[in-house]
A and B are shown apart, each in its own frame.
Chain A
Amino acid sequence: MPHQSASDSRWRRLPLVPLAALWATLWILVATIESSYYIHNPSIPRWQPLTLILTLAGTIVVWLTFELRSSRYFRFPLEPPRPWFLHHLQRLPILAAGYIVIVFGLRHAVFAIAGGKYQHLPWSGLIPFEFVKASLFYCLWLGLVYGTLSLQRSREQGVQLVLVQKALVESQLARLQAQLRPHFLFNTLNTVSSLMQIDIARADRVLARLGDLLRASLGAGSAGTIPLQEEMHLLRLYAEIMQERFSGRVTVDWHIENDALAVRMPAMLLQPLLENAFKYAIEQTTGIESIRVAASRDRDQLSITIHNTGSTLHEGWREGIGITNCRERLSVLYGSAATVDITSDGDTGVLASVSLPLAGASG
């Protein structure tokens, strides 16, 4: 999802800024307390405690600036927490050593230049003390970062979850609409409304078919692929409703080879093609036209054709949304191994042919 990376990069830095400000303030406070002895001692020149504070605070601020600019804290997964902490604690010796070298190096240098002498604990005591201090503060820093990031992430996930659910529902609805257009639904209901006045049994039959078809459409989203046999069953339901609507103007023949029945294919893939066949069949003529649905398997391909008489593709014909959807579904599932073609069959009709690999869908 392209929009995700944009929002990611935004939240990746922002929450750390107040955190870092807080952190720097804390260190300045620590340094100030540490240096308070020098500040309140009138025999010591003011620049000395000021140097102590500034070298410490300056080092921390520079380090924080680099930390904030780097993306190291996001590179490693937050869950589970232990590896995250262990991963970041690996840097501890280098950071602590660096801290001591830079801060005390700077202080000695400034004092030397200014002509004073920087006095502190002997190195043997100072190094372990400063090391422990730096370690404690680094662990605290990691804890704060972890807490902030976890909070951010859980918020983000909440939003993401809602978005995913919404997208899922929308895609299911879109699928349903592609399969059973509202147009088809309402026209069929109108057919039932008309039939029930003259032939209750027929009205009932159409209603039952419509129910089956609706149920199958709602389930198709989760089923993914179904055996050809089931797909043909759904297609027959659809064809029977259409024949009822167009009152015997279209006959439908089925030529399904037995060895193709078990081959799995995407559910309700063929319905848009049959819908088109009906449309082409009744578009130009008022006579009785025929549709022929055939399916067979050769070595490694399942091939299905739907042919209608009545009209050919007129000049400037463009593929409708139904066929485009069908093609997109196939390309998601099989890549270039599956094809859909709509062609004029001489001057007698239109032929839709679908070919897909037997090996099954990748998804």
Chain B
Amino acid sequence: MMRAVIVDDEEPARAKLRRWLAEERDVEIAGEFADGLSAAYSIITMSPDVVFLDVQMPGLSGLQVAAQFEPQEAPLVVFVTAYDAHALAAFDLNAVDYLLKPYDEERFRRALDRVRGRLHTPETRESAVRAARAQTGFSDHLLVPAGDGLRLIDSADIHSLEADDNYVHVHTADRAYVLRRTLRDLLQQLGEQRFVRIHKSVAVNIAEIEALSPLFKGDYELRLRSGKALRLSRRYTADLFRRSGH
């Protein structure tokens, strides 16, 4: 059984997909969402097989939603869009499937057949996330779990990212969030202009660095504005000095 999620801010647009998806024996509609934020939350917690994702929604757009996914764990995404020349170019480049509104049943079935054919190939999952990130650039916002839902935090507010097995702890001024993501992918999403690795498993916001004091063997102690002290491994010193202009 293929579990599908529909995301569109317009009810008639959802109804159209709902009706056609309901006619498929191997498809189960796992949920319908009218805005990006609740969709992102549900997609991350429900891990559906496929998402029909409207690109233009007020608030968090479809592309911004897809940019937040961990590529290996992302569902297959079929972007649905009315008109967006730039996004279409990115989709074509990454061979991601998309439906152009208005589309007919035949076109819809073709998209669904492609989804079936790709269900077990991980590359196609990554490509949607790649296409979305190519469009949105480095994310200025990060979606983090908070209480029962998700919160969108400003990436400028993040002080440090600390990896721990399969999780990353995202530290802000007043609290920490735990994401099931890899540090490498998170840095790719947020962009390396803002964040720099100081250790195999730690990255910090460059703007938050306050002081460095040498330890032994070429390591340094790095102090953030918040007062927090972290170890800068000598493997990463050259990179940090280069980027912070020393």
Within 8 A of B (CB), among A177-207: 181-183, 185-187, 189-195, 197-198
* A197 in complex: contacting residue of B10, B19, B82, B101, CB < 8 Å: B19
Q: Is the CB of A192 within 8 A of B56?
A: no
Q: A183-B83, A186-B102 are in contact. Are A194 and B58 (CB under 8 A)?
A: no
Residue of A nearest to B35 (CB): A286
* B13 in complex: contacting residue of A182, A190, A249, A279, CB < 8 Å: A190
Residues of A within 8 A of B100 (CB): 186
Residues of B within 8 A of A282 (CB): 9, 58
The answer to the question of A88 belonging to the interface, with a C-beta cut-off of 8 Å to chain B, is: no
Within 8 A of B (CB), among A222-273: 244-247, 249
Binding site of A, secondary structure by majority: helix, strand, loop or mixed?
Answer: helix
The answer to the question of A170 belonging to the interface, with a C-beta cut-off of 8 Å to chain B, is: no
The answer to the question of A7 belonging to the interface, with a C-beta cut-off of 8 Å to chain B, is: no
Nearest-neighbour CB distance to chain B for A124, whole angstroms, equals 84
Residues of A within 8 A of B19 (CB): 197
Whole-angstrom CA separation of A337 from B101 in the bound complex: 42
Q: Is the CB of B102 within 8 A of A244?
A: no
Whole-angstrom CA separation of A283 from B59 in the bound complex: 5
* B101 in complex: contacting residue of A189, A247, A279, CB < 8 Å: A189
* B16 in complex: contacting residue of A193, A247, A249, CB < 8 Å: A193
Could you say which interface size class chain A belongs to? 20 to 34
Q: Is the CB of A190 within 8 A of B58?
A: no
Residues of B within 8 A of A279 (CB): 58
Residues of A within 8 A of B12 (CB): 190-191, 194-195, 244-245, 247
Nearest-neighbour CB distance to chain B for A310, whole angstroms, equals 10
The answer to the question of A154 belonging to the interface, with a C-beta cut-off of 8 Å to chain B, is: no
The answer to the question of A284 belonging to the interface, with a C-beta cut-off of 8 Å to chain B, is: yes
Residues of B within 8 A of A283 (CB): 58-59
Q: Please count the residue pairs between chain A and chain B whose beta carbons lie under 8 angstroms apart in the complex.
A: 67
Q: Is the CB of A183 within 8 A of B82?
A: yes
Q: Is the CB of B59 within 8 A of A187?
A: no
Q: A279-B58, A283-B59 are in contact. Are A193 and B34 (CB under 8 A)?
A: no
Q: A245-B10, A246-B9 are in contact. Are A190 and B16 (CB under 8 A)?
A: yes
Residues of B within 8 A of A185 (CB): 82-83
Whole-angstrom CA separation of A246 from B103 in the bound complex: 19
Whole-angstrom CA separation of A284 from B35 in the bound complex: 9
Whole-angstrom CA separation of A84 from B217 in the bound complex: 93
Residue of B nearest to A284 (CB): B59
Q: Is the CB of B83 within 8 A of A190?
A: no
* A187 in complex: contacting residue of B11, B15, B82, CB < 8 Å: B82
Residues of A within 8 A of B103 (CB): 190, 193
Q: A183-B56, A186-B101 are in contact. Are A191 and B10 (CB under 8 A)?
A: yes
Whole-angstrom CA separation of A247 from B16 in the bound complex: 14
Q: Is the CB of B102 within 8 A of A189?
A: yes
Q: Is the CB of B82 within 8 A of A194?
A: no
Residues of A within 8 A of B34 (CB): 286
Nearest-neighbour CB distance to chain A for B242, whole angstroms, equals 31
Residue of A nearest to B11 (CB): A247
Whole-angstrom CA separation of A190 from B10 in the bound complex: 10
Residues of A within 8 A of B13 (CB): 187, 190-191, 194, 245
Residues of B within 8 A of A284 (CB): 59
Whole-angstrom CA separation of A246 from B47 in the bound complex: 27
Q: Is the CB of B35 within 8 A of A190?
A: no
Residues of B within 8 A of A193 (CB): 16, 101-104
Q: Give B82-114 as 1s and 0s: 1 = Cβ < 8 Å from A's Cβ atoms.
A: 111000000000000000111110000000000
Whole-angstrom CA separation of A197 from B105 in the bound complex: 11
* A194 in complex: contacting residue of B9, B16, B84, CB < 8 Å: B16
Whole-angstrom CA separation of A198 from B16 in the bound complex: 10
Q: Is the CB of B10 within 8 A of A182?
A: no
Q: Give B47-82 as 1s and 0s: 1 = Cβ < 8 Å from A's Cβ atoms.
A: 000000000101100000000000000000000001
Residue of B nearest to A285 (CB): B35
Residues of B within 8 A of A182 (CB): 82-83
Nearest-neighbour CB distance to chain A for B94, whole angstroms, equals 22
Residues of B within 8 A of A244 (CB): 12
Whole-angstrom CA separation of A187 from B83 in the bound complex: 9
Residue of A nearest to B84 (CB): A183
Within 8 A of B (CB), among A143-168: none
Residues of B within 8 A of A245 (CB): 10-13
Nearest-neighbour CB distance to chain A for B130, whole angstroms, equals 24
Question: What are the 9 closest A-B residue pairs judged by CB atoms, nearest first?
Answer: A186-B82, A247-B11, A190-B101, A194-B16, A194-B12, A283-B58, A193-B102, A190-B102, A182-B83
Give 18 pairs: A residue, B residue, CB < 8 Å, sorted on A.
A181-B83, A182-B82, A187-B10, A189-B102, A190-B82, A190-B101, A191-B10, A191-B12, A192-B102, A193-B16, A195-B12, A245-B12, A245-B13, A246-B10, A247-B10, A247-B12, A279-B58, A282-B58
The residues of B with any CB-CB pair to A shorter than 8 Å are 9-13, 15-16, 19, 34-35, 38, 56, 58-59, 82-84, 100-104
A193-B102, A194-B16, A246-B9 known; 14 other A-B pairs, CB under 8 Å? A183-B82, A187-B101, A189-B102, A190-B10, A191-B13, A192-B102, A193-B16, A193-B103, A194-B12, A244-B12, A246-B10, A246-B11, A247-B10, A283-B58
